[in-house]
Amino acid sequence: MKHLNLKRVMISIFLIWGLSLFSFGSGENDSFQIGDLKVNPGEIKSGYLSVPEKDGIATLIPLTIINGSKEGKVLALVAGVHGYEYPPILALYRLKEMIDPQSLSGTLILVHIANLPAFQKRIIYYNPDDWKNLNRVFPGDPQGTISQRIAHVLTEEVVKKCDFLVDLHCGDGNEALIPYCYWMLSGDKKADEISRNMVLAFGIKYIIIDKSRTKDKAHSKY
């Protein structure tokens, strides 16, 4: 989601969160774990995912898990894939203070800053430790460069553990963009319909429909 100001990001997140929980659970939720961070029903915890060291380079991924007291779907919201894109990062830090896990159905994963090296050094587009675009290397490689290892950790610990995922972006430090959403058509009718409903829930005027998603497994799956 590109060029969203902070207010629009917050409104959009609440809309998409309500949409994702179209099936409210009546039973008690289970504990939920990502990495070493285990959260019981009705709790909220913050911590880090560790990206293993290789060639002297390692990093952390700050995240929060809000585990509702009632069963339901798992929604992941990811910010900071491009570390200079600040509004989504700020929105997720504010959002974690606004959700009451005791009244929540399901689980909310907030990945606050996916690309911490780029955030720390205020670099647009790329990770300054390998000069790769994290947005282009998923699902990653556990033996690859730091960006590839970040992507691998996010894939294994976040992508594979959620029912819905929204990758939040905005105009980077050198960009001035009209707000828009991407709707990727995968060929899976059920997934495409859910994605369509999620995109519409954002209420943004412009939607880019991408029908050219690569089927080559050597390229990004995500």
Closest alpha carbon to 13 in 116, 165, 208, 159: 165
pLDDT digits (tens, 9 = 90+) for 116-137: 999 999 999 999 999 999 999 9
Check pLDDT > 80 for residue 171.
yes
Check pLDDT > 60 for residue 14.
no
Closest alpha carbon to 49 in 33, 59, 60: 60
| pLDDT score of 164 | 94
Check pLDDT > 50 for residue 222.
no
- Helix, strand, or coil here: 169? coil
Contact 220, 137 (CB under 8 A): yes
User: What are the tokens at 129?
Assistant: 């430790």
Q: Please compute the mean of the pLDDT values over residues 80-99 and round it to a whole number.
A: 94
CATH class of 6-210: alpha beta
- Residue 119: which residues within 8 A CB-CB, separation 6 or more? 80, 83, 84, 89, 113
pLDDT digits (tens, 9 = 90+) for 126-167: 999 999 999 999 999 999 999 999 999 999 999 999 999 999
Domain positions in the chain are 6-210
Q: Please compute the mean of the pLDDT values over residues 53-59 and round it to a whole number.
A: 94
Q: What is the DSSP string of 25-87?
A: --SBPPPEEETTEEE-TTEEEEEEEEEEEETTEEEEEEEEEEE-SEEEEEEEEE--SSTT-HH
